[in-house]
Amino acid sequence: MDTRFLESFIAIVERGSIADAARHLGLTPAAVAQRIKALEDEIKQPLLVRAGRNVTPTAAGLGIIEKSRLLIRGVEDLKALATHNEFAGELKIGAISTALTGLLPFMLRKFFADYPKIDLHVTPGQSIKLYHDVVEAQLDGALIVEPPFAIPKTCGWKRLLSEPLVVLAPESCTETNPLKIIKENMFLRYDRTQWGGRVADTFLRENRIFPTQQLELDSLEAIALMVSQKVGVSLVPDWLPPWPEGLKIRKIPLPSPAPCRNLGFLS
């Protein structure tokens, strides 16, 4: 059995369409479809069901997907052994937006120098989605906000950075008390469905602060830009630069000890 057929099958299941799988593999949709046809002929079972542009695995397809992943990973391990124990193969990781620009660039220079035979793929996303992708083995690892619950024993976690929460206010704001700033101004809330947003929300509730809220956003960069334009104030983690250029804002620290958004690597 040609392992490239299995790679194509896995790509279609993970991406939900032949067209997306073809783009990922650098092939034409017709070539990918031919591989699946050859695999189905060899297994003598239909593996995929096509409904318009979407493709889902049949019962037989679901039955072999995990074994297929293990087989492909085993082949990659054999390739690594053949290169005198050098690390080789494909590595798929995810990263939240601020880690993608703040943490990852500093890591990649050393990574590519130490592991030149690794084919690295980076997927941007939100912590919750990337967490589930790692747990379900869709990704090998991810730079995410630390989950507000225990990490499964099947996964590893290494904390890399703690970002204290700060109040963002327009440059023209003269008030120095961060809690007073939140109470007396329109508040731009860091999305409470995000794990970092929950840290900010917990701080507000513990201090019995119920600000006048107009917007709830999941983009820290967008919040900073809106504060700069005097739309309101916000409570966000002091994330690693780069921040958007040309901001006219003030960062006012919270009373010590300030709560933090913790970033780390889940694998």
pLDDT, tens digit (0-9, with 9 covering 90-100), for 161-213: 999 999 999 999 999 999 999 999 999 999 999 999 999 999 999 999 999 87
Measured CA to CA in angstroms, residue 107 lies from 6, 14, 117, 235 at distances of: 32, 27, 16, 28
Q: Which of 177, 135, 126 minimizes the C-alpha distance to 157? A: 135
- Report how far residue 50's alpha carbon sits from residue 53's, in angstroms, rounded to the nearest whole number: 7
159 beta partners: 264
List the chain residues with pLDDT less than 50: none
Write down the pLDDT at residue 80. 63
- DSSP SS3 for 233: strand
pLDDT, tens digit (0-9, with 9 covering 90-100), for 97-110: 999 999 898 888 88
Q: How many CB atoms lie within 10 A of CB 147?
A: 17
Q: Does the pTM exceed 0.85?
A: no
Which secondary-structure segment (H or E) carries 189?
strand 187-190
Write down the pLDDT at residue 25. 84
Write down the pLDDT at residue 261. 96
Write down the pLDDT at residue 84. 55
Exposure letters 11-35 (e unless 16+ CB within 10 A, then b): bbbbbebbebbbebbebeeeebbeb
